[in-house]
Structure 1
């Protein structure tokens, strides 16, 4: 599988496994361990987490599975996100829904993630969502400490638009730090990051992109949705032409973008993973890519 270089210390697999639903899978540690090994065998080595997933439980579930194979950590890149507070009895001060980008919270969140995942270092930590109260100096101070203490290999953001990225990036650069990743919602259904220039802005600064909900949270399979119906009318003939599934065509569409967008795939079914990987090996023509693009737009390009 192709790799995407994040910085001088780490590279990611070009398909990423997400664990936001791991609590719902209700797997034993042995079952999850087997699944992680199956992913690694296929070249999918990058694992995406967030502290809040599964009411603050999914990282711990993953950690118990990882503990069964101590050497498995050497074959993985583990990403987590922080900065969102959800009401929960699992952690202190989780008494409401808000964002917290304070130095104290970021550092505590990373330390908690490391403990739950049962690892010593994250390959990347991302600020989960931008906040109206975001102080870039606070975040920069936290990143400096985490890098100095060897707790993170790289730093990134999630759901940041151009101006939010610029605000934080300018502060980080002053301390010789930089944003390496931006996790955005991108799919043939959701074009906002393409249309508003965010992807181009990240590409310009060599910020690598992860795509959450590359299947639009299942919307791309809801044929009662008018937009989906338009897109499917283009994708279905392509799936027949290339003898692959709809999922594979969607992955091929994402993969064609020159910015090396890495889809975060949240399935627990290994055959769905294989469909995604098949799509990453498929080369759509420019016309086929634009046919899907304009179907999503609902109108032709100028």
Structure 2
């Protein structure tokens, strides 16, 4: 599978496996998690996307248990994780209010916790999870720079940031922000026209796409988008998920879909999206179906 270079030190697999629902699985044993990892590796999917808050701050530890069982596995994968959301659950159950914390102290403590939970000595890509309206961009930027200089983090980026949020943080940093992870799918097409994707495409920064299947709605619901997905899927001998993912992969901005499923059979089919080659007209058929109307 193609790798997308984010920095001199970090390249991610074109399709990324997401850990958002890892803790929701009925089986969270190291053996079962390892089966998911192997299903990804067998397709060339080497990048695994985490966040400290996933699984009520427990998913990183579940994944880390599989790495502790086979430490050599770490050198075959790239680990992405995120920080700055403090919610009154899990390790922060005593906090009175959900908030964002991009202070140096919180970022440094979060990274140390993630390293310990994930059973690793390095994070390949650290993302600030949500824009913090109380952010001191000089403090946050210096903390991220120092983490890269220390070797504990190899590259840094953001998630859910708008272009102006990115520019503010970048203005307080020496290290280039490597990516922005935002919601993009046939159910959420606004980044194609609201400036979000254009901002990063102009800078040559690949974008990671969370919820590329619309939170599952594209797979289970019926409507114009699903009808076109089914038609294109039948033409290529794949399912809706493969076509919806291929829609993102086809874009010249080099979008990296972050795919989340706990079902092994679906994990093994994630790379089916690479079998789907969309020409411009077919891409626009899907785009218009997602919009629910003809383009202007």
TM range (shorter): over 0.9
Of 18-27 and 196-205, the range deviating more from structure 2: 18-27
Residues 15-69 of structure 1 show CA distances to partners (whole Å, capped at 9, x for unaligned) of 1111111111132111112221221122111010001111111001111111111
Q: 3-state SS of the aligned residue for 1:7?
A: coil
In structure 1, what is the equivalent of residue 129 of structure 2? 128
In structure 2, what is the equivalent of residue 38 of structure 1? 39
In structure 2, what is the equivalent of residue 180 of structure 1? 178
Inter-partner Cα distance in structure 1 for 2:32 and 2:265: 16
In structure 2, what is the equivalent of residue 164 of structure 1? 165
For the Cα contact (< 8 Å) 1:180–1:206, is it kept in 2?
A: no
In structure 2, what is the equivalent of residue 249 of structure 1? 243
Of 118-127 and 31-40, the range deviating more from structure 2: 31-40
Inter-partner Cα distance in structure 2 for 1:41 and 1:233: 31
Large movers: runs of 4+ above 6 Å: none
Inter-partner Cα distance in structure 2 for 1:274 and 1:238: 20
Query: How far apart are 1:171 and its partner, in Å?
Result: 2.2
Task: After TM superposition, list the pairs within 5 Å mapping 1:67-78 onto structure 2.
Answer: 67-78=68-79
For the Cα contact (< 8 Å) 1:183–1:211, is it kept in 2?
A: yes
In structure 2, what is the equivalent of residue 261 of structure 1? 255
Query: How far apart are 1:270 and its partner, in Å?
Result: 2.9
Q: 3-state SS of the aligned residue for 2:97?
A: coil
Q: 3-state SS of the aligned residue for 1:12?
A: strand
Establish whether residue 214 from structure 1 lines up as the match of residue 212 from structure 2: yes
State the aligned residue count.
295
Query: How far apart are 1:152 and its partner, in Å?
Result: 0.3
Gaps of 5+ in 1: none
In structure 2, what is the equivalent of residue 113 of structure 1? 114
Inter-partner Cα distance in structure 1 for 2:54 and 2:104: 21
Select 2:289's aligned residue among 290, 295, 299. 295
Inter-partner Cα distance in structure 2 for 1:81 and 1:6: 16
Inter-partner Cα distance in structure 2 for 1:155 and 1:263: 18
In structure 2, what is the equivalent of residue 19 of structure 1? 19
Gaps of 5+ in 2: none
Select 1:271's aligned residue among 256, 259, 265. 265
Inter-partner Cα distance in structure 2 for 1:89 and 1:254: 34
Inter-partner Cα distance in structure 1 for 2:284 and 2:49: 30
Establish whether residue 84 from structure 1 lines up as the match of residue 78 from structure 2: no
For the Cα contact (< 8 Å) 1:14–1:262, is it kept in 2?
A: yes
Query: Structure 1 residues 142 and 219 mapped into 2: Cα distance closer, same or farther (>3 Å)?
Result: same
Query: How far apart are 1:252 and its partner, in Å?
Result: 1.1
In structure 2, what is the equivalent of residue 198 of structure 1? 196
Query: Structure 1 residues 223 and 268 mapped into 2: Cα distance closer, same or farther (>3 Å)?
Result: closer
In structure 2, what is the equivalent of residue 100 of structure 1? 101
Query: How far apart are 1:261 and its partner, in Å?
Result: 0.7
Q: 3-state SS of the aligned residue for 2:234?
A: helix
Inter-partner Cα distance in structure 1 for 2:66 and 2:197: 35
Query: Structure 1 residues 94 and 111 mapped into 2: Cα distance closer, same or farther (>3 Å)?
Result: farther
